[in-house]
């Protein structure tokens, strides 16, 4: 969820998020919180371990934390099922972590209950139930090929957004999936039954998939979104005015020309994303209400956060996967014993969650050197010792490693060199006067940019991280895409799935990168499947009391 949606001082859309707004007023709201990586599995894995993405080498959504409770030899069984025992142990040996804070809590006698989307690995399924596998393997070969070939700069030729629309008949579940409703109902039931009145210390994890692709909703939430006014359609600039990293991301996502080919779609898409946020608020409200009515809200800590945001078609992009505010800024609120209702402007990060949760439990961290610090003192009215946060991203929608540091009102974005040796320029924004990040001031303030780059380098070895990820990409492509898809012909077929419009010139680029042939299947193109980005932009109508039964209507599209 876009963290700006809960920031009263942000110019972002104001939504009726009554349960989240009540939680913010009741507890400590960290208004300037950032993800550790704007991608599901890396963000969650980093949050759970207190380590950076590059330290734990969870680079993308294909390989989560292989280690179970920090072990190099005991590895996640689902990793083994997706890859192999040998490969998972090799990955585990490189993952610099002694386990998650959930492992630490369990080892100290906490009863662990987990419902919903954990999406990180680490064998956490042994402690609860969740539905999203962080070890995809290469079942979706188009997604894998796109992620691991990103450094080549190949992008889809087809920029027609209708290619990522689904007809209603394609749907298999309602907007958030049945599991989000099951998660809310089970978490609420456990609280109402007195889970937190037990003599055994308890940790309850409740996580939803929404707001997240596929983008779909029903009329209850669609019409709860107020008129968007001037924010209905973001202000776009020309390609010449855009940063090359943003141009690449928008083209790779297939949304670059949306304002030219489907301008009427933009406002409806944004309304649907915001409607999903309203639906999320309703589900969270169900859990918070149960906590309150059970009488446990006075002796239990509540931490509400998100793993990443969404552009919602700002910057010509949808989804996450960049260091711009809509993607990288997330909500974070804490309530519980000793927490004072206050709005905290100092920056915070998902890196802070590991030490914060263990501080709440009175347990020292296993990790000796953490990027974050406990937020509990700040939530209880004391100050913070850290005044900057960092993030990194290494997946499909960036040709190279992308890094961010925020200190005060300033945000600096650094791009590692491309394979060609070309260096994209850094970006620098003063968010106090430029909240939409339209005025890059890096050229005007080189000393400030260098100062922030030095802070970034003190936290993350950005050169080593980028080199490691690029080597990993090539290794994974050769091992799981090239060889498993029958060599040269399979390479072309996989890239055709990854990038609609992939042609002979693109194949030459891939061949130069791999040092191997990547040629077209004799007799024609492989039939393109339903890979890559998907979105359902129709509005779903139905009775929210029965979310499994929804009816569709092509509303204004």
CB 509 within 8 A of CB 153: yes
Residue with tokens 């409200």: 285
341 close to 26: Cβ distance less than 8 angstroms: yes
pLDDT tens, residue by residue, 449-477:
999 999 999 999 999 999 999 999 999 99
* Contact partners, residue 410, CB within 8 Å, separation at least 6: 428, 429, 430, 431, 448, 452
Query: Which pLDDT belongs to residue 304?
Result: 98
Give the helix/strand (H/E) hosting 53. helix 53-56
Q: Which residues pair with 121 in a beta bridge?
A: 65
pLDDT higher than threshold 90 for residue 369: no
CA distance 323 to 34: 10
Which residue's structure tokens are 């569709």?
552
Domain positions in the chain: 3-164+177-431+444-484+527-553
Name the DSSP letter for residue 479.
I
> Predicted confidence band at 543 (pLDDT cuts at 50, 70, 90)?
very low
Burial class, 281, CB count within 10 angstroms (exposed 0-12 / middle 13-18 / buried 19+): buried
pLDDT for position 129? 63
Does 548 have pLDDT greater than 60? no
Interval 261-287 mean pLDDT = 91
**Residue 136's closest CA among 145, 124, 126, 128?**
145
Count other Cβ atoms within 10 Å, centred on residue 92: 23
Cα–Cα dist 193/281, whole Å:
22
Taking alpha carbons only, the member of 2, 47, 100 closest to residue 372 is 47
- Which residues, in sequence order, are CB contacts of 4 under 8 Å at separation 6+? 10, 12, 309, 325, 326, 329
CB contact at 8 A, 302 and 336? yes
**Model confidence over 297-335: pLDDT tens digits?**
889 999 999 999 999 999 999 889 999 999 999 999 999
Q: Whole-prediction pTM value?
A: 0.90
Q: Which pair of tokens denotes residue 407?
A: 């200190």
Q: Mean pLDDT of all residues in the chain?
A: 86
In this structure, are residues 400 and 407 in contact, taking their beta carbons and an 8 Å threshold?
no
Could you give the CA distance from residue 351 to residue 370 in angstroms, rounded to a whole number?
Answer: 8
Scan for tokens 């669609």, then name that residue: 222
pLDDT digits (tens, 9 = 90+) for 480-518: 888 755 688 889 888 988 888 889 999 999 999 999 998
**Architecture category of domain 3-164+177-431+444-484+527-553 in CATH:** 3-Layer(aba) Sandwich (3.40)
Which tokens in the block code for residue 350?
Answer: 């998902």
Query: Mutual orientation of helices 487-498 and 141-148 as an angle, nearest 10°?
Result: 90
Nearest to 359 by CA among 341, 336, 340: 336
Q: What is the dihedral of CA 514, 520, 521, 525, to 10 degrees?
A: 130
Neighbour-count burial of 172, counting CB atoms closer than 10 A to its CB (0-12 exposed, 13-18 middle, 19+ buried): exposed
Q: What is the pLDDT of residue 43?
A: 97
């Amino acid at each position: 969820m876009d963290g700006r949606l809960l920031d009263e001082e942000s110019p972002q859309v104001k939504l009726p998020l009554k349960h989240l707004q009540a939680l913010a007023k009741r507890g400590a709201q960290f208004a300037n919180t950032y993800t550790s990586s704007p991608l599901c599995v890396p963000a969650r894995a980093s949050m759970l371990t207190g380590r950076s993405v590059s330290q734990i080498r969870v680079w993308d959504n294909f390989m989560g934390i292989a280690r179970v409770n920090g072990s190099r030899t005991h590895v996640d069984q689902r990793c083994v099922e997706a890859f192999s025992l040998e490969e998972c142990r090799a990955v585990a040996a490189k993952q610099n972590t002694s386990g998650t804070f959930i492992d630490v809590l369990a080892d100290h006698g906490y009863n662990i209950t987990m419902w919903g989307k954990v999406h990180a690995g680490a064998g956490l399924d042994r402690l609860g139930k969740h539905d999203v596998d962080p070890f995809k393997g290469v079942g979706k070969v188009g997604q894998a090929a796109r992620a691991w070939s990103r450094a080549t700069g190949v992008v889809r030729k087809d920029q027609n957004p209708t290619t990522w629309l689904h007809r209603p008949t394609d749907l298999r579940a309602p907007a958030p999936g049945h599991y989000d409703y099951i998660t809310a109902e089970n978490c609420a039931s456990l609280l109402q039954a007195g889970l937190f009145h037990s003599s055994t210390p308890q940790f309850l994890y409740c996580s939803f998939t929404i707001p997240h692709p596929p983008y779909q909703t029903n009329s209850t939430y669609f019409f709860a979104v107020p008129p968007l006014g001037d924010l209905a359609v973001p202000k776009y600039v020309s390609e010449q005015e855009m940063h090359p990293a943003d141009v690449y991301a928008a083209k790779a996502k297939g949304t670059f020309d949306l304002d030219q080919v489907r301008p009427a779609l933009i406002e409806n898409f944004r309304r649907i994303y915001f409607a999903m946020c309203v639906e999320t608020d309703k589900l969270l409200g169900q859990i918070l209400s149960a906590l309150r009515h059970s009488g446990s809200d006075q002796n239990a800590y509540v931490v509400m956060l998100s793993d990443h945001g969404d552009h919602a078609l700002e910057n010509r992009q949808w989804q996450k996967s960049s260091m711009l505010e809509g993607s990288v800024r997330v909500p974070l609120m804490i309530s519980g014993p000793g927490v004072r209702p206050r709005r905290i402007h100092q920056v915070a990060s998902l890196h802070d969650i590991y030490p914060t949760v263990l501080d709440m439990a009175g347990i020292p961290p296993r990790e000796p050197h953490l990027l974050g610090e406990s937020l509990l003192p700040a939530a209880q009215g004391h100050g913070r010792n850290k005044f900057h946060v960092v993030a990194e991203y290494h997946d499909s929608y960036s040709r190279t490693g992308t890094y961010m540091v925020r200190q005060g009102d300033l945000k600096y974005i650094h791009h590692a060199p491309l394979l060609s040796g070309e260096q994209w320029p850094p970006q620098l924004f003063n968010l106090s006067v430029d909240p939409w990040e339209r005025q890059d001031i890096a050229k005007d303030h080189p000393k400030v940019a260098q100062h922030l780059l030095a802070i970034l380098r003190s936290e993350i070895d950005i050169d080593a991280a980028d080199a490691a990820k690029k080597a990993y990409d090539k290794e994974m492509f050769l091992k799981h895409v090239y060889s498993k898809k029958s060599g040269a012909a399979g390479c072309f077929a996989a890239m055709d799935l990854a990038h609609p419009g992939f042609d002979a010139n693109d194949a030459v680029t891939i061949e130069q990168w791999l040092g191997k042939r990547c040629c077209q299947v004799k007799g024609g193109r492989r039939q393109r499947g339903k890979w890559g980005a998907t979105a359902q932009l129709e509005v779903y109508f139905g009775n929210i009391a029965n979310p499994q039964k929804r009816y569709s209507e092509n509303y204004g599209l």
